[in-house]
Structure 1
Amino acid sequence: MKFKSIAVFCASSSGFDALWTQKAYSVGAFMAQHNITVVYGGGRVGLMGAVADGALDHKGGVIGVIPHFLNSKEIGHHGVTTLITVDNMHQRKMKMNELSEAIIALPGGYGTMEELFEMITWGQLGLHQKPVGLLNINGFYDHLIAFVQNMVDVGLLNKQNQEMLLVADNIEELVAKMELYEAPSVPKWLDKERS
């Protein structure tokens, strides 16, 4: 495998579909089996906890990054390889980005969406060249994918930037796509073809 570490953003709850928890656990297991360190939000609950447990149960490395205010409420997963505490949510994203070579989003709510779009925006602006992937478990992201297509259709998103967001419904295919990813050579604001 090309990657030594991948950041995983996902829900701190489990949701109503048991498949999401199963797949989150299998993502952690897959990464452990391929010697990829999981970098995630540090929680022991929800899909976050399932990813961490999947990796830990298969003897993988897990780095959690959690703000003090969440860790103090005993949400932090103290069984991980390393648990890093930071002051706020922005520092959490910065640290996760710093520690990872690629980014994956599993199903989640507002927090996951915010993290996903900040990471893809940083890539669009040339602040990093890492692949960003959506694991579209059971069609969870179908509406989001359609919405991104609408951004292109109405001229608010360039096709090249749309293609930065890699999508697959299983972890094996997603990581394979991510390994082949090449970042755009020209950051958004330097592309003369854009209005």
Structure 2
Amino acid sequence: MQSIVVYCGANFGHKQIYRESAYELGAELAKKNIRLIYGGGNMGLMGRVADGALENNGLATGIIPNFLAKLEVAQKTLTELHFVDTMHERKAKMVSLSDGVIALPGGFGTLDELFEILTWSQLKIFHGPIGVLNINGFYDHLLAHLNKMVEEGFLHQAQLDLLIVSDRATDLLEKMQAYHESEKENKPLDTSLFVKNIEK
């Protein structure tokens, strides 16, 4: 894998372990020469994962909508910073640049991004590995609900298995790399049609 999108909160959360783990993930990406692709902000866990990559000689590319950049929340020391017009363009652009996706703890936006990319994977639009870094058991209740969806017949086990989960960055990246290498028909994501349809 040459690049990974990281979805995460623009807040730090109440516990120090969240910011520490976000930084460690960024540092681990740098160590493995994997470019960080993320939302371009300098606040909360977004800022920490970027710091972890950049302060360890890694590469970080941010994608940020113009209206958020005007609020002066963009990280200004990134390797690359792309400006787009809408949130839909932002999500499509981030994924189009990536070989995989990782979700850290976050709020509505993080969950929106995570479930959208899982849907794209289910529909064979996106072919890369999708991981959740389950720091401090943050996603335990969500994972339990996903299993409930399988139990009640609203989700197939094979679809749930698209999600790779670990509480350690190194372990998660190893599992994602194994998935990436086993995906023999990995096709590039064409986001142009998706964006056009969304904005109609």
Question: TM-score normalized by structure 1?
Answer: 0.92
Residue 76 of structure 1: how far off its partner (Å): 0.2
In the alignment, structure 1 segments of 5+ residues that lack a partner are 186-195
Residue 24 of structure 1 is matched in structure 2 by: 22
Deviations 1:143-176 (A, max 9, x none): 0100000000000000100000000000111111
Q: Runs of 4+ in structure 1 displaced over 4 angstroms?
A: 182-185
Whether 1:113 and 2:80 are equivalent positions in the alignment is no
Q: Is the 8 A contact 1:41 1:48 kept in 2?
A: yes
Q: Give the 5 Å matches for 1:45-56.
A: 45-56=43-54
Q: Closer, same or farther in 2 for the Cα pair 1:136/1:167, shift >3 Å?
A: same
Give me the CA root mean square deviation: 1.2
Q: Closer, same or farther in 2 for the Cα pair 1:13/1:24, shift >3 Å?
A: same
Aligned residue among 20, 34, 37 for 1:36: 34
Q: Using the alignment, how far apart are the partners of 1:175 and 1:120 within structure 2? A: 18
Q: Using the alignment, how far apart are the partners of 1:183 and 1:139 within structure 2? A: 29
Q: Is the 8 A contact 1:160 1:184 kept in 2?
A: no
Residue 196 of structure 2 is matched in structure 1 by: none
Deviations 1:68-95 (A, max 9, x none): 0101100000100000010011101100
Residue 12 of structure 1 is matched in structure 2 by: 10
SS, match of residue 5 in structure 2 = strand
Letter in 2 for 1:95: K
SS, match of residue 180 in structure 1 = helix
Q: Using the alignment, how far apart are the partners of 1:116 and 1:183 within structure 2? A: 20
Q: Using the alignment, how far apart are the partners of 1:179 and 1:142 within structure 2? A: 23
Q: Closer, same or farther in 2 for the Cα pair 1:119/1:18, shift >3 Å?
A: same
Whether 1:128 and 2:105 are equivalent positions in the alignment is no
Aligned residue among 55, 58, 61 for 2:56: 58
Residue 184 of structure 1: how far off its partner (Å): 11
Q: Closer, same or farther in 2 for the Cα pair 1:59/1:94, shift >3 Å?
A: same
SS, match of residue 14 in structure 1 = coil
Q: Using the alignment, how far apart are the partners of 1:55 and 1:175 within structure 2? A: 15
Residue 189 of structure 2 is matched in structure 1 by: none
Q: Is the 8 A contact 1:93 1:115 kept in 2?
A: yes
Question: TM-score normalized by structure 2?
Answer: 0.89
Q: Is the 8 A contact 1:24 1:47 kept in 2?
A: yes
Aligned residue among 66, 70, 73 for 2:71: 73
Deviations 1:12-59 (A, max 9, x none): 011101110000001000101111100000000100000000001001
SS, match of residue 76 in structure 1 = coil
Q: Using the alignment, how far apart are the partners of 2:38 and 2:18 within structure 1? A: 16
Whether 1:165 and 2:163 are equivalent positions in the alignment is yes
